[in-house]
Amino acid sequence: MTPVSPRILLLGAGGRLGRVIARLGAPVVPAGRREADFRTACDIPALVEHIAPDVVINAAAFTDVDGAESSESEAMAVNGHAVGLLAAACARRDIPLIHVSTDHVFPSAQGRPWRPEDTPRPLSAYGRSKRLGEDLIRLTGGRYLILRTSWLFGGGGRDFVSTILGRARQGAPVPVVADQTGGPTPILPLAATLLSLAHRAVTISGLREIHHFTGMPDVSRADFARAIIASAGLETEVEEVTTDDLAAPARRPLDARLDNTSLALRFGISRPDWRLHLEALADRLKTTAPPPHETAHI
Ligand SMILES: NC(=O)c1ccc[n+]([C@@H]2O[C@H](COP(=O)([O-])OP(=O)(O)OC[C@H]3O[C@@H](n4cnc5c(N)ncnc54)[C@H](OP(=O)(O)O)[C@@H]3O)[C@@H](O)[C@H]2O)c1
């Protein structure tokens, strides 16, 4: 029988996305690094057995995109092998796994937004580690839904928005890449979508799906930065630079647009308009002064 309110095990509950999911008020069992460290992953099967949830949401990940270039084995352990163990533990109990993935599994550009069924060909260690996690989930044979997303903002903490504002408040033109395009995704509707999918997943037998969820409209990072600065009531200019100019350790997909059509058709979930969510943040943006961050390239 389907539980009225499924018991949800939330991994990565202390992260930016995890904290917002936990705040939404659904009955989640939050778990973090203390309960299961994904670097060794040996606690994961016991945790799943002990909690015996109806569904698992995995928001835990090694997310330092540039750091992964010099720590690829750790990224692979956390984003790849641990996720495989988690998927296996879920499959043993026929528990659906809702897993968060990324646009970084795709390469530079192909002239149209990436579809869920397009073949991942990541350019970076982070992307390779996230693809390994996806592959191991699919190979395990259990029930899963992988939701790829991109350019998260909102929910507090450091992100592209706080980075841009920290710099814009200093007054000098802010250098931002103009040759990367994608969908900035407000965390709140992403968190609500993951919870909604978790509830629905419990009743779907044979669930084996990959979907995309990103904010709309797609935009260049430079134009997103302009919108952020304007929302905060600042007039600092954006200086357009190229990805090559920044020479970041990790390569990023230049065209990171994700096609969300399958999610709309299957679950009736549409893309949130990031401009409305930026507006909602505007008052806070005008009064808070986040610290400058070294890179505006997340
Ligand atoms: N941020 C973005 O723009 C973006 C874009 C696309 C996709 N995503 C995906 O969205 C998901 C959530 O990202 P986020 O921005 O919320 O990341 P985040 O703030 O860095 O949070 C990551 C979470 O993973 C946990 N974690 C890291 N290493 C761990 C380990 N060894 N063992 C157990 N837990 C560990 C962290 O725990 P601690 O708090 O203890 O470190 C934290 O709770 C990830 O799957 C990410 O790949 C993010």
The domain limits of the chain are 8-151+185-214+255-272
Ligand 1: does its nearest atom lie under 6 Å from the Cβ of 138?
Answer: no
Calculate how far, in angstroms, residue 98's C-alpha sits from the geometric centre of ligand 1: 14
Ligand 1: does its nearest atom lie under 6 Å from the Cβ of 241?
Answer: no
Ligand 1: does its nearest atom lie under 6 Å from the Cβ of 180?
Answer: no
What's the pTM?
Answer: 0.95
Integer Cα distance of 90 and 94 in angstroms:
6
Indicate the angle between helix axes 221-231 and 160-168, nearest 10 degrees: 60
The DSSP code sequence of 173-207 is PEEEESS-EE--EEHHHHHHHHHHHHHHHTT-TT-
> Which of 9, 17, 39 is the best mutation target for the ligand 1 pocket, counting ligand atoms within 8 Å of the beta carbon and taking the most?
17
Atom of ligand 1 nearest to the CA of 130: 47
Q: What is the pLDDT of residue 186?
A: 97
Backbone angles phi, psi at 53, to 5 degrees: -75, 170
Q: pLDDT under 50 in the chain at which residues?
A: 291-298
Answer whether 165's CB lies under 8 Å from 285's CB.
Answer: yes
Protein residue whose Cα sits closest to atom 10 of ligand 1: 100
Calculate how far, in angstroms, residue 171's C-alpha sits from the geometric centre of ligand 1: 31
Protein residue whose Cα sits closest to atom 31 of ligand 1: 38
Atom of ligand 1 nearest to the CA of 160: 3
What's the CATH fold of domain 8-151+185-214+255-272? Answer: Rossmann fold (3.40.50)
Integer Cα distance of 167 and 176 in angstroms:
11
Q: What is the pLDDT of residue 96?
A: 98
Calculate how far, in angstroms, residue 230's C-alpha sits from the geometric centre of ligand 1: 29
Q: What is the pLDDT of residue 293?
A: 45
Q: What is the pLDDT of residue 110?
A: 82
Residue 139: both structure tokens together: 């190979």
Ligand 1: does its nearest atom lie under 6 Å from the Cβ of 30?
Answer: no
The alpha carbon dihedral of 192, 193, 194, 198 has a sign of positive
> Which of 10, 63, 159, 274 is the best mutation target for the ligand 1 pocket, counting ligand atoms within 8 Å of the beta carbon and taking the most?
63
Ligand 1: does its nearest atom lie under 6 Å from the Cβ of 184?
Answer: no
Integer Cα distance of 231 and 286 in angstroms:
8
Calculate how far, in angstroms, residue 63's C-alpha sits from the geometric centre of ligand 1: 5
Q: Which residues are catalytic?
A: 126
Protein residue whose Cα sits closest to atom 5 of ligand 1: 150
Ligand 1: does its nearest atom lie under 6 Å from the Cβ of 153?
Answer: no
For residue 30, say if its preceding peptide bond is cis, omega within 30 degrees of 0: no
